[in-house]
């Protein structure tokens, strides 16, 4: 251990911070050692980086209805800094005509899948539905992100979707920051629906959608000694009808550990389309997370998991409003905030979520699971 590392270790063990920031650099703090002497230490050992900033990548880019729209570096996606989160705003302009039967959460229903991947074949969002990413953003901050309620009117309905690369619920949120200096290219793909996601009877209504993209990032490259070793991946498993199948198998891979699972029940779904249909709390009585070495969630009552979620994520309100966590609960493997608590999947012969069907459950119904996982950087 060199002198600088020894000083930092002693500071961590024996000293207390007395001033954030200083006259020395904006990225440093002062601490007082056990002898009362003051020292300066960079916030990030190994060198300071710049401030955080929100940068506009583009605005008003057209999103194709009933298809996939792709964006890349050619559209201005920048590389080099550490990304905290990717922020996407969808602007849906409706001319109502004879359209009727508004679906309140249509601005989420219409986002069928979002994929963000690198040229190294690392997926940060892997066909994740808009509703799944919306719910993950909600639990990470305890506040519902922007979502306009769809009505039968000629208006612009907006929603904001965030892909969190750091994790505010982790003890060290920056452990999974997206280090874009590693890549030559990033590609963003938006799979979008149509007016039938807004109205049960679209009639002569028309829809034009654009998207604005922002990134919340650290200014300047990440110092070498604190570069991340993992990245976060959001994805989804193929849904099933719980009236026929009450088990959803999770992917098992030698490079994959699960942090959290969003389990959602719904009625009147679109077959094969995850997170579709009408949110429903009446599908399950209890849930189990099962693998061959144990049960991290062992036949737990659905309403107890809901209550735990509210406390754990400081959620205001309960299952009322559109949308809410109604129909969804979160199974969290990282209550202590440590990445070491992520559920490693590579040594399991089975890994699955099992539900118990409630009396009077809707039929047809849907059992969907969206995951938040980590994978190592190679």
Domain range 237-376, CATH class: mainly beta
Tokens representing residue 16 in the block:
């207390």
Tokens representing residue 136 in the block:
């993950």
Which of 21-35, 165-179, 209-223, 362-376 bottoms out in mean pLDDT, i.e. has the lowest?
21-35
What whole-number percentage of the chain has pLDDT above 90? 76
Q: State whether CATH 3.30.70.20 applies to domain 52-218.
A: no
Return the bridge partners of 31, or none.
Answer: 17, 39
pLDDT value at residue 377: 94
SS3 at position 262: strand
Across the chain, mean pLDDT equals 88
pLDDT value at residue 23: 38
Return the bridge partners of 290, or none.
Answer: 352
SS3 at position 6: helix
Residue 4 has pLDDT above 80, yes or no: no
Residue listed under structure tokens 């994929």 = 115
pLDDT band for position 160 (cuts 50, 70, 90): very high
Q: Which alpha helices (DSSP H) does 190-329 contain, by range?
A: 302-312
The rounded distance, in Å, linking the Cα atoms of 305 and 329 is: 7
Note the pLDDT tens digit of each residue in 315-324: 765 444 434 5
Residue 6 has pLDDT above 70, yes or no: no
Query: What stretch(es) of the chain map to CATH 2.70.9.30?
Result: 52-218
- pTM, full prediction: 0.86
Residue 115 has pLDDT above 50, yes or no: yes
Let me know how long the chain is. 378
Note the pLDDT tens digit of each residue in 58-105: 999 999 999 999 999 999 999 999 999 999 999 999 999 999 999 999
What stretches of 35-110 adopt beta strand conformation (E)? 38-42, 52-63, 67-71, 82-95, 100-102
Q: What are phi and psi of 304, to 5 degrees?
A: -70, -40
SS3 at position 48: coil
Query: What stretch(es) of the chain map to CATH 2.60.120.730?
Result: 237-376
């Amino acid at each position: 251990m060199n002198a600088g590392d020894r000083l930092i270790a002693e500071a961590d063990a024996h000293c207390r911070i007395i001033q954030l920031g200083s006259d020395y650099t904006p990225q440093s703090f002062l601490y007082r050692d056990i002898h009362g002497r003051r020292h300066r230490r960079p916030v990030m050992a190994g060198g300071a980086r710049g401030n955080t900033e929100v940068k506009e990548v583009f605005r008003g880019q057209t999103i194709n209805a009933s298809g996939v729209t792709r964006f890349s570096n050619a559209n201005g996606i920048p590389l080099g800094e550490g990304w905290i989160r990717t922020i996407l705003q969808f602007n849906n302009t409706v001319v109502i005509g004879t359209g009727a039967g508004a679906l309140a959460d249509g601005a989420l229903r219409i986002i069928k899948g979002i994929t963000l991947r690198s040229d190294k074949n690392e997926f940060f969002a892997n066909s994740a539905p808009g509703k799944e990413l919306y719910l993950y953003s909600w639990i990470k901050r305890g506040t519902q992100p922007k979502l306009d309620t769809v009505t039968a009117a000629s208006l612009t309905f907006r929603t904001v979707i965030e892909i969190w690369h750091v994790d505010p619920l982790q003890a060290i949120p920056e452990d999974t920051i997206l280090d874009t200096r590693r890549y030559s290219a990033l590609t963003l793909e938006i799979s979008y629906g149509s007016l039938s996601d807004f109205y049960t009877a679209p009639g002569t209504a028309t829809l034009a959608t654009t998207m604005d993209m922002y990134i919340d990032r650290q200014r300047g490259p990440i110092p070498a000694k604190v570069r991340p070793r993992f990245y976060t991946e959001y994805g989804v498993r193929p849904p099933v009808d719980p009236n026929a199948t009450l088990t959803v198998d999770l992917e098992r891979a030698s490079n994959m550990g699960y942090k959290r699972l969003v389990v959602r029940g719904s009625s009147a779904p679109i077959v094969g389309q995850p997170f579709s249909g009408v949110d429903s709390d009446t599908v399950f009585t209890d849930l189990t997370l099962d693998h061959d070495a144990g049960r991290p969630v062992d036949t737990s009552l659905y309403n107890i998991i809901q209550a735990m979620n509210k406390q754990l994520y400081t959620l205001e309100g309960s299952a009322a409003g559109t949308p809410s966590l109604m129909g969804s609960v979160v199974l969290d493997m990282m209550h202590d905030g440590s990445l070491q608590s992520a559920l490693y999947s590579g040594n399991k012969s089975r890994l699955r979520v099992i539900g118990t069907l409630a009396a009077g459950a809707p039929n047809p119904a849907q059992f969907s699971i969206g995951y938040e996982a980590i994978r190592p950087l190679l």
